[in-house]
Amino acid sequence: MTDLSERAAELDARDPLAYLRAEFDLDPGVVYLDGNSLGAPPRRVAARVGEVIHQEWGRRLIRSWQETWWTAPERVGEKIAPLVGAGPGQVVVADSTSVNIFKALVAAIRLTPGRDEIVVDAATFPTDGYIAESVAEMTGKVLRPVMPDDLGDVLGDRTAVVLLNQVDFKTGRLYDMAAATERVHEAGARVVWDLCHSAGVLPIELDALGVDLAVGCTYKFLNGGPGAPAFIYVPRRLQESFRQPLSGWGGHRDPFAMTPDYVPDPGVARARAGTPDILSLLALEAALEVWDGVDLAGVRAKGLALTGFFIECVDELAGDTVEVITPRDQRRGHQVSLRHPDARALVPEMTAREVIGDFRDPDVLRFGFAPLYNGYAEALRAARTLADVLATWS
Amino acid sequence: MTDLSERAAELDARDPLAYLRAEFDLDPGVVYLDGNSLGAPPRRVAARVGEVIHQEWGRRLIRSWQETWWTAPERVGEKIAPLVGAGPGQVVVADSTSVNIFKALVAAIRLTPGRDEIVVDAATFPTDGYIAESVAEMTGKVLRPVMPDDLGDVLGDRTAVVLLNQVDFKTGRLYDMAAATERVHEAGARVVWDLCHSAGVLPIELDALGVDLAVGCTYKFLNGGPGAPAFIYVPRRLQESFRQPLSGWGGHRDPFAMTPDYVPDPGVARARAGTPDILSLLALEAALEVWDGVDLAGVRAKGLALTGFFIECVDELAGDTVEVITPRDQRRGHQVSLRHPDARALVPEMTAREVIGDFRDPDVLRFGFAPLYNGYAEALRAARTLADVLATWS
């Protein structure tokens, strides 16, 4: 125990990202380990939103649409682009992840005529599967759920598009984006990556890997706020042929001309649908400023170290009662999932002791580690709290 | 002129809604007449959003989803329901108007098997037509644009669904919802009403008129903030058969069970798609509190009086140079549209004199009158400013 405490203190003292904790409005007494579900609020968000309401909305009024608001989806997209390995002009912020998956799948199907199967990760976050099922119904395609490890068994010349998660929401497992993308392309199909649990976790190389389309949320490791708008990536090479079904005026080439015909914007803005949700979008923009000057490789290194240290603490303090289901090698995101038959009851017990993780059916405890605001002493305290609660039960 | 000034002062003095102006954060020197495009900020919004960020997000963190956030779309929907004549459990706030039109049209088509035409108002706000075109493509239907006055010419046993605007965004004309709904139903088709320019303008009777589906935005006369989430109305009689294509986890009966199959919520929540956008949604909730205790009949009476007085002022001060294209009888919303060949240049000139309206291609000036914060002296000042600018040009 003492050894772990000393190690935690030492690791925190040497943490090159420790200075970023001050950017977040978090109660210092609370160990918040649910940034994989809802990131903590960057301090600058409140001030920025206040300014948007009083000044941009209250004083500039309608003029703000032209001055700064209308193009905010692309502007905020440019702040996300470097976090996912996208060059300029390929990421736009709009709608929710679910809605963007719908756009991406339909657009991908339109790029693959003559093919009739939609392959979807069977272990996916449910909304991806629900949306894929609806797309299959609307386009007359067949839905093929498959465990990611068995992808090779189903790919073929019937495959139109494959929807995959880079990090599994339940186990925290990280999949090999390069290998899977290559396999899908070898089958002549298109791949759509869901980055919800990986954006802000590790360097992602969408452009370099030739990914077709990607979507992701901004309220987990990007800290954009509850339900903050999602993003969608459409690489330049596909923009001209990208035709998505939610063709609202937001994606029009000249929205304010208000012509009766829909003519999509030549660039990534064609992935927009309706009027952008400005308060949430500009809150997200402020939240993303925290990433300025932050090296993703360093974030990744700390995330692996933090989750590794947490696994070590759990092994030592509670290893005989809980099972670590997250990979112990580097094939993981920044979340550690533990299995325990009473997981559902453990979460509120730990929360009562101010250590916040979450629960997923039927028996999974999840602890997300955000390198921007979590530290090693917090990892140790979480493991110790878990062990303490379990001890009171035995 | 003096006569008009005296009348304006007298009308303002007798205005039973004048007390509501204090609810809004508006510069007293500015005459803001663009609430038909972007409503003014209610003062209480800033404080509420600050509280959401600091307290609900920053302190309650992930727990807020369960405590207040997850059901906010329905809760805020209940605040809109009385403004559109809907009983409880039939309105939900989610996504944008464009996205909700997509949901409503597809759901309506699924309710009318064997029919192959989508009829859409040819004078509609463009996004409605763009989305209808996309729905037609995805569902294999034929799109039939028609001027609302000619609706009778196209309705028949091929008509699946008719998408209509209650108030025309360009002319401000108000259509007869009762008569049009009846005609559509006589043809055995479904009607979807777009309430963007009528919600918050006049009493709407969705339930009483047997409307099938309706959508509307919240950032115009409802003052929810730029791009605030839109609403959708699904009456109880249609909820069980309402199947919309954006079947994200937000509309699931038990979203946190995270089961692989999509089972829609039994109620109006099935019209939700992805994760709700909390900051914007709770800003809207605060904005809607301004309506508490406000009688819509009184709002309508003032809106007609205000726009009528404005038309009278325009007639007297600038009647020989501009044409009023908004109906002079009661068939109008709370917006007056004027036609002038130099309309595009007039808007910035008037804005420079702190009277803010807007422009629509090719030659239309629009002035929106929000009974909650606009007054008669403002109407007169707007007309006088218009006349002054025109005089400097002659």
Number of other CB atoms surrounding residue B133 within 10 Å: 18
Rounded to 5 degrees, what angle do the CA atoms B281, B287, B289 make? 110
pLDDT tens track for B300-330:
999 999 999 999 999 999 999 999 999 999 9
Look up B221 and say whether it is catalytic: no
Q: Tell me the pLDDT band of B34, cut-offs 50, 70 and 90.
A: very high
Tell me the pLDDT band of B94, cut-offs 50, 70 and 90: very high
| pLDDT for the residue numbered B393 | 86
CATH number listed for the domain at residues B47-291: 3.40.640.10
CB atoms within 10 A of CB B185: 17
Look at residue A132 and give its three-state secondary structure.
helix
pLDDT in tens, A179-221: 999 999 999 999 999 999 999 999 999 999 999 999 999 999 9
> Quick one: A359 exposed, middle or buried, by C-beta within 10 A (0-12, 13-18, 19+)?
middle
Question: Is B350 part of the contact surface with chain A (CB cutoff 8 Å)?
Answer: no
Residue A125 counted as an annotated binding residue: yes
3-state SS, residue B72: helix
Give the DSSP per-residue string, B31-57.
EE--TTTSPPPBTHHHHHHHHIIIIII
Say how many C-beta atoms besides its own lie within 10 A of residue B150's C-beta.
10
Domain layout of chain A by residue ranges? 2-17+294-393, 47-291
Task: For chain B, give percent helix, strand, coil, nearest 5.
Answer: 45, 15, 40
Binned at pLDDT 50, 70 and 90, residue A123 comes out as confident
Q: Chain A residue closest to B36 (CA)? A: A62
Would you say how long chain A is, in residues? Answer: 394
Quick one: DSSP state of residue B124?
A: S
Residue-wise pLDDT tens digits, A273-317:
999 999 999 999 999 999 999 999 999 999 999 999 999 999 999
Residue in chain B nearest A245 by alpha carbon:
B134
pLDDT of residue A1: 55
At how many degrees (to 10) do helices A97-110 and A126-139 cross? 40
Strands B335-339 and A335-339: unpaired
Percent of chain B beyond pLDDT 70? 99
**ipTM exceeds 0.90:** yes
Q: Which of A31-35, A91-95, A123-127, A235-239 has the lowest mean pLDDT?
A: A123-127
Q: With a cut of 90, say whether residue B279 has pLDDT above it.
A: yes
Cβ contact B99–A274 (<8 Å) = yes
Residues of chain B positioned with their CB less than 8 A from the CB of A228: 277, 279
Whose CA is closest to B347, among B331, B335, B360?
Answer: B360
Tally C-beta pairs within 8 A across A and B.
262
Catalytic residue (choose from A102, A169, A175, A219): A219
**Hey, is the C-beta of A241 within 8 angstroms of any chain B C-beta?**
no
What contacts B40, CB < 8 A, 6 or more positions away?
Answer: A58, A61, B24, B25, B26, B32, B223, B370, B373
Exactly one of B144, B272, B366, B384 is catalytic; name it. B366
How many Cβ atoms sit within 10 Å of the Cβ of residue B275? 25
For residue range A257-272, list pLDDT tens digits in order.
888 899 999 999 999 9
Q: Residue B285 — very low, low, confident or very high, per pLDDT cuts 50/70/90?
A: very high
Assigned architecture for domain B2-17+294-393: Alpha-Beta Complex (3.90)
pLDDT digits (tens, 9 = 90+) for B292-306: 999 999 999 999 999
Rounded Cα–Cα distance for residues A91 and A82 (Å): 10
Residue B1 pLDDT class (50, 70, 90 cuts): low
pLDDT above 60 for A223: yes
Which pLDDT score, from 0 to 100, does residue B124 have? Answer: 79
Which of A134, A273, A280 is closest, CB to CB, to B99?
Answer: A273
Compute the mean pLDDT over every residue in chain A, rounded to the nearest whole number: 97
Q: Is B79 a catalytic residue?
A: no
Residue B193 among known ligand-binding residues: no
Q: Would you state the structure tokens that stand for residue B50, as one six-digit string? A: 């600050």
What's the whole-number mean pLDDT along residues B75-99? 98
Q: Is B127 labelled a binding residue?
A: yes
Can you tell me the distance from the alpha carbon of A353 to that of A240, in angstroms, rounded to the nearest whole number?
A: 54
The three-class DSSP label of residue A78 is helix
User: Above 80 in pLDDT, residue B353?
Assistant: yes
Name which of A96, A105, A135, A139 to mutate to probe chain B: the one with the most chain B Cβ atoms within 10 A of its Cβ. A96
Q: How far is A309 from chain B (nearest CA, A)?
A: 24
Task: Identify the closest residue of chain A to B103 by CA–CA distance.
Answer: A246
Give me the residues of A, 258-287, that contact B with CB < 8 A: 258-260, 262, 273-281, 283
Q: CB–CB of B217 and A275 under 8 A?
A: yes
Yes or no, beta carbons of A245 and B277 under 8 Å apart: no
Q: Give the integer Cα–Cα distance in Å for B120 and A103.
A: 23
Catalytic residue among A194, A212, A265, A277: A194
Residue with tokens 């009607």: B191
- Residues of B in Cβ contact (< 8 Å) with A38: 57, 61-62, 65
pLDDT over threshold 70, residue B127: yes
B53 contacts on A by Cβ (under 8 Å): 25, 41, 45-46, 49, 225, 283
| B34 contacts A59? CB cut-off 8 A | no
| Cβ-defined contact of A130 to B262 (cutoff 8 Å) | yes
- What average pLDDT does range A357-363 have in this prediction? 94
Mean pLDDT for chain B?
97
Long-range CB contact pairs, A65-71, < 8 A, 24+ = A65/B38, A65/B226, A69/A276, A69/A278, A69/B226, A69/B227, A70/A255, A70/A276
